Chains A and B, each alone.
Chain A
Amino acid sequence: EAQVTQNPRYLITVTGKKLTVTCSQNMNHEYMSWYRQDPGLGLRQIYYSMNVEVTDKGDVPEGYKVSRKEKRNFPLILESPSPNQTSLYFCASSIQGLEAEAFFGQGTRLTVV
Chain B
Amino acid sequence: QQQVKQSPQSLIVQKGGISIINCAYENTAFDYFPWYQQFPGKGPALLIAIRPDVSEKKEGRFTISFNKSAKQFSLHIMDSQPGDSATYYCAASRRGYQKVTFGIGTKLQVIP
User: A27 → chain B, closest Cβ, in Å?
Assistant: 15
Cβ contact of A43, chosen from B41, B42, B44, cutoff 8 A: B44
What band does the interface of chain A fall in when counting residues whose beta carbon is under 8 Å from B? 20 to 34
Q: Please, how many angstroms separate the alpha-carbon atoms of A58 and B91 in the complex? A: 13
Q: Which of B89, B100, B104 has its CB near the most chain A CB atoms (within 10 A)?
A: B100
What number of B residues sit within 8 Å (CB to CB) of A?
22
Residues of B contacting A: mostly: strand
B88-106: which residues lie under 8 A (CB-CB) from chain A? 89, 91, 93, 98-105
B34 / chain A contacts, CB cutoff of 8 Å: 98-99
CB distance from A97 to the nearest CB of B (A): 5
User: Do A42 and B98 touch (CB < 8 A)?
Assistant: no
Are B93 and A105 in touch, CB under 8 angstroms?
no
* Mask of A62-101 contacts with B, CB within 8 angstroms, 1/0: 0000000000000000000000000000101000011101
* A33-B46 contact in complex given A42-B104, A98-B32, C-beta closer than 8 Å: no
